[in-house]
Amino acid sequence: MSEDNINNKEESKPSISFIEQFVAEDLEGGKNSGNVITRFPPEPNGYLHIGHAKAICLDFGLAKKYNGKCNLRFDDTNPVKEDVEYVDSIKEDIHWLGFDWEEREFYASDYFGKLYDFAAELIKRGLAYVDDQPAELISSQKGTPTQPGTESPFRNRQADENLDLFRRMNKGEFDEGSRVLRARVDMTSPNMHLRDPIIYRIIKSPHHRTGSSWKVYPMYDFAHGQSDYFEGITHSLCTLEFEVHRPLYDWFIDQLKTDDYRPRQIEFNRLNLTYTMMSKRKLLELVQEGIVKGWDDPRMPTLCGLRRRGYTPESIKKFIDLIGYTKVEAINDVSLLEHAIREDLNIKAPRVFGVLNPLKVIISNYPEGKEEDVELINNPEDETMGKRLVPFSRVVYIEQDDFMEIPPNKFFRLAPGMEVRLKGAYIIKCEGFKKDEATGVIEEVYCTYDKETRSGGSGSERKVKGTLHWVSAKHSVDAEVRLYDRLFNHEDPSGQKEDDYRKFLNPESLKVLTGCKLEPSLKSAGKLEKFQFQRLGYFCVDTDSTDRKLVFNRTVQLKDTWAKVNK
RNA sequence: UGUCCCGUGGUGUAAUUGGCAACACGUCUGAUUCUGGAUCAGAAGAGUUCAGGUUCGAGACCUGACGGGACAACCA
């Protein structure tokens, strides 16, 4: 192999997605004067979820990489479903992810005037007509994917009359549903979207931005492509289901454009995650039916839910980077998302002691009333995070799981006669325990400690098989800890034809633990602050937490090879 | 009985545009560890849905099957 080849291998760039390849080609071809302008176009009718994050990362990320701009545009063409509540949450979530649209905050409703004029122009050119038929009739005349449609009796209405009716529709002279404006394309097209699509309908509810100045509203298909055109979008990135809409968008732009410029639409696969679902409608049902506690319930795949769960924007972006953009409809394993958050928090989260299911351990030869501070490293992955002092005393709590009366093989924890290290403190030996014979519950464990084995001390070299986390009973703070598991116990809960997704709800998706014992330093933790509870997982302070009642959420468990062995 | 899109280890993606399939997650070993975490070393696992064709050479190109998906809201 020549030296050149070796160098090439070492320098080989990470591959870019097919979308980015198209963009790069356009740039090389001198299209759009070398500009890249994208847009993220949410409808303000729900909260953003991780699937939207995939689009956001693409739209904003690509623009940034190619020195372009990305607009935020709310597709607010349906006043009956949309609300400012959603506008605000969407903006917050995009910022949280770390993207910014500067002053370019647009609304499809900004273009209602232009869109109306364009529709009027289409009428004048004989390319649009007012249809007086009811919805069911129009629908039945559309035909089916395998059968051509039939033409409306109003299809050949004269332009003057169409124009007059369209104006009067907008003045509120007609009832909702009584008339629509349709584009005059081709009722026999194999593409259903081209069969004289409805482009305007009468809606009399007020709009969150334009109030009641309009009585007629453009359909999404009539607003979206043209909005891109008005904004000078060069690359219009969207999900696969809009592929069949593209010919329609092109048809509109053909009527509208005055030069060579036109936005290039590129479709990619939407994000699917195992054991959850992304349908906004179904997520709304979970909220409305009280199955979850709100849009920001930590079990939700919404960005606010993930944020409250303890996910970082970096971990979400890393995950999205890992899964890539293709045209294959894929379902991604949540374990990859979990890997991303573990990897991020491993570096960032300070380690602390928290005992979820406390078991009292009495160290009988440790002087009563004595207490001492032991020093612990905050994060072995990052020395700059320093050390802290944790109080130790005669009575400590350990995890119930860390003691067994009759241990199986390879149980490196506490059991009668066995020794174990209390991390950062001493080696202790189990001398006995107290058990409620009726229930079989272990109530207390009695140990002795080896004074010489204090961590960092002269006798600390001695090895024992297990190391446990612990909390001094006297100094511990109580907390509620919420353990989350997947919301559904089916990989694809909403993809089952026969069964409603509700059938697959995991009854154990939330377990609330009270009386958990935490080390005292946690008392002052701020909301959403993240920690690794050593040997257990990553946790963050819930937004419900107060000074009087600490509440933590478990973001994700640590990998647990013992649990696997134990199976 | 249509039109459009897609088929690469268990999962998600690569393959310098035609030169004998790479990475990540997961899985399994082992080392190490005062977290059964992290880290380190290693392993197993696909011959690219199938059948033809073009070519010296195909995961890439062509044809045809097969399989999956999208499209029939006055939703977006």
Q: Is pLDDT of A10 > 50? A: no
* Strand residue runs (E) in A69-136: 69-74, 105-107, 128-131
List, in sequence order, the alpha helices (H) in A390-518: none
Q: Are residues A359 and A398 in the same domain?
A: yes
Query: Nearest protein residue to B1's C1' (by CA)?
Result: A146
Token digits for A219? 């359909």
Nearest nucleic acid nucleotide to A461, CA to C1' distance = B34
Pick out the nucleotide with least CA–C1' distance to A426. Answer: B34
List the strands of the sheet with A216-218, edge to edge: A128-131, A180-183, A198-202, A216-218
Listing DSSP states for A280-335 in one string gives: HHHHHHHHHTTSSSSTT-TTSSBHHHHHHHT--HHHHHHHHHHH---SS---B-HH
Chain A residues 238-257 within 7 Å (CB) of strand B: 240-245
> Is A28 inside any structural domain?
yes
Nucleotide nearest to A177 in CA–C1' terms = B74
Contact present, A137 and A102 (Cβ < 8 Å): no
Question: What's the Å distance between residue A326 CA and nucleotide B51 C1'?
Answer: 27
Active site residues of A: 43, 270, 280
Q: Are A134 and A27 within one domain?
A: no
**What's the farthest any 2 CA atoms get from each other in chain A?**
101
Q: Which residue has the tokens 């986390």?
A: A469
Whether A256 and A229 have beta carbons less than 8 Å apart is answered as: yes
pLDDT higher than threshold 50 for residue A2: no
Give the nearest nucleotide to A241, CA to C1'.
B70
Point out the residue nearest to B16 (C-alpha to C1'). A12
CA at A15, C1' at B14: how many angstroms apart?
A: 7
A259-263, A397-401, A409-413, A459-463: least confident range: A459-463
A327 CB-to-strand B distance under 7 Å: yes
Contact A470, A353 (CB under 8 A): yes
pLDDT tens digits for range A220-253: 999 999 999 999 999 999 999 999 999 999 999 9
Verify that A376 and A321 share a domain, yes or no. Answer: no
A441, A457, A475 — which closes off a domain? Answer: A475
Q: Is the CB of A6 under 7 A from strand B?
A: no
Question: Is the CB of A161 less than 7 A from some atom of nucleic acid strand B?
Answer: no
Q: Which of A152, A201, A158 is nearest to A179 (CA)?
A: A201
A181 and A233 within one domain: no
On the question of pLDDT at A61 being above 70, the answer is yes
Evaluate if residue A486 carries a pLDDT over 50: yes
With a 7 Å cutoff on the CB, does A329 touch strand B? yes
Average pLDDT over residues A378-388: 97
Q: Compute the distance between CA of residue A333 and CA of residue A272 in angstroms, rounded to an integer.
A: 9
Is the C-beta atom of A180 closer than 7 angstroms to strand B? yes
Stated in angstroms, how far is A395 CA from B43 C1'? 46
Q: What's the CA–C1' distance between A194 and B71, in Å?
A: 11
Last-in-domain residue among A413, A443, A475: A475
Per-residue pLDDT tens over the stretch A116-148:
999 999 999 999 999 999 999 999 999 999 999
Residues A256 and A191 in one domain: no
Indicate yes or no: pTM above 0.80. yes
Q: For the domain that residue A421 is a member of, what is the CATH number?
A: 2.40.240.10
Please indicate, yes or no, whether residues A457 and A430 belong to a single structural domain of this protein. Answer: yes
What mean pLDDT do residues A285-299 have? 96
- pLDDT tens per residue across span A181-194: 999 999 999 999 99
Give the DSSP letter string of A164-217: HHHHHHHHT-S-TTS-EEEE---TT-SSGGGSS-EEEEE--SPBTTTBTS-SEE
Give the model's pLDDT for residue A13: 61
pLDDT score of A116: 98
Distance in Å from B3's C1' to A121's CA comes to: 29
Last residue of a domain, one of A444, A475, A506: A475
Owning domain of residue A434: 351-475
* Maximum mean pLDDT: which of A398-402, A496-500, A562-566: A398-402
User: CB–CB of A119/A166 below 8 Å?
Assistant: yes
Establish whether the CB of A467 is closer than 7 Å to any nucleic acid atom in strand B: yes
Q: Is there a single domain that holds both residue A461 and residue A355? A: yes
Q: For residue A509, is it within any domain?
A: no
Sign of CA dihedral A367, A371, A372, A378: positive
Residues 36-75 of A near strand B (Cβ < 7 Å)? 43, 75
Which two structure tokens, joined as six digits, stand for A314?
A: 């970096």
Domain match, A230 and A91 both: yes
Look at residues A345, A515, A362 and name the one whose alpha carbon lies nearest to residue A429.
A362
Q: Provide, in whole angstroms, the distance separating residue A510's CA from nucleotide B45's C1'.
A: 36
Could you tell me the CATH number of the domain that includes residue A121? 3.90.800.10
Q: For chain A, what percent of residues have pLDDT higher than 90? A: 94
Whether residue A235 lies inside any domain: the answer is yes
Q: Which helix (H) or strand (E) is A265 found in, with range?
A: strand A264-268
Nucleotide closest to A559 measured between CA and C1': B37
- pLDDT class for A497, splitting at 50, 70, 90? confident
The token pair that represents A278 in the structure block:
């992304």
Contact positions of strand B to protein Cβ (< 7 A): 1-8, 10-17, 24-28, 34-39, 68-76
pLDDT band at A11 (very low <50, low <70, confident <90, very high): very low
DSSP character for A251?
H
Six-digit token string for A40: 């993220």
* pLDDT band for position A5 (cuts 50, 70, 90): very low
Residue A484 inside a domain? The answer is: no
Whether A225 and A165 map to the same domain: the answer is no
Measured in whole angstroms, the distance separating CA A68 from the mean position of its chain's CA atoms is: 25
pLDDT band, residue A478 (cuts 50/70/90)? very high
pLDDT the model gives residue A35:
96
A62 has a pLDDT exceeding 50: yes
Which are the contacts of A132, defined by CB distance < 8 A and separation ≥ 6? A154, A178, A179
Residue nearest to nucleotide B69 (CA to C1'): A329
Band the pLDDT of A86: cuts 50, 70, 90.
very high
Inside any domain, residue A27: yes
Instruction: Please report, as a single letter, which amino acid is at residue A10.
Output: E
Query: For the residues A520-532, what does the mean pLDDT come to?
Result: 97
Average pLDDT over residues A405-424: 96
- The reply to whether A488 falls in a domain is no
Show the CA angle centred on residue A526, arms to residues A524 and A527, nearest 5°: 145
CATH number at residue A58: 3.40.50.620
Q: From CA A446, how far away is CA A92, in angstroms rounded? A: 52
- Torsion sign across C-alpha atoms A20, A25, A26, A28: positive
Residue nearest to nucleotide B12 (CA to C1'): A323
Q: What's the CA gap between A130 and A198, in Å, rounded? A: 9
Mean confidence (pLDDT) of chain A: 95
Q: Which residue has the tokens 């054991």?
A: A275
How many domains would you assign to chain A? 3
User: CA torsion sign, A208 to A214 to A220 to A223?
Assistant: negative
On whether both A399 and A325 belong to a single domain, the answer is no
Place of tokens 């400590």: A396
Question: Does A182 contact strand B, using a CB cutoff of 7 Å?
Answer: no
Whether A260 and A327 share a structural domain: yes
* Domain-embedded: residue A437: yes
Backbone angles phi and psi of A551, in degrees to 5: -130, 125
A499 in a structural domain: no
pLDDT attached to residue A245 = 97
Would you give the DSSP letter of residue A18?
H
Spatial separation of the C-alpha atoms in residues A306 and A39, rounded to whole Å: 24
The A 486-525 residues near strand B by Cβ under 7 Å are: none
Nucleotide with minimal C1' distance from the CA of A42 is: B76
Q: Is residue A97 over pLDDT 60? A: yes
What integer pLDDT is reported at residue A498 of this predicted model? 81
> Residue A503 contacts by C-beta under 8 Å, 6 or more apart in sequence?
none
Cβ of A115: how many Cβ atoms within 10 Å? 23
Q: Are residues A18 and A77 located together in one domain of the fold?
A: yes
* CA of residue A311 relative to chain centroid, distance: 9
Q: What is the pLDDT of residue A7?
A: 35
Reply yes or no on whether the pLDDT at A298 is more than 60: yes
Q: What percent of chain A has pLDDT over 70?
A: 97
Q: Which nucleotide is nearest to A147 (CA to C1')?
A: B2
A311 CA, B23 C1': Å apart: 25
At A237 the pLDDT is 98
Residue A197: phi and psi, rounded to 5, are -65, 145
Residue A565: per-residue pLDDT: 84
In this structure, are residues A25 and A269 in contact, taking their beta carbons and an 8 Å threshold?
no
Residue A115 DSSP SS3: helix
**CB of A458 lies under 7 Å from some atom of strand B:** no
The dihedrals phi and psi of A106, each to the nearest 5 degrees, come to -120, 165
Q: Where are the beta strands (DSSP E) in A405-493?
A: 419-422, 427-435, 442-450, 467-468, 471-472, 477-484
Subset of residues 540-559 in chain A with CB less than 7 angstroms from any atom in strand B: 558-559
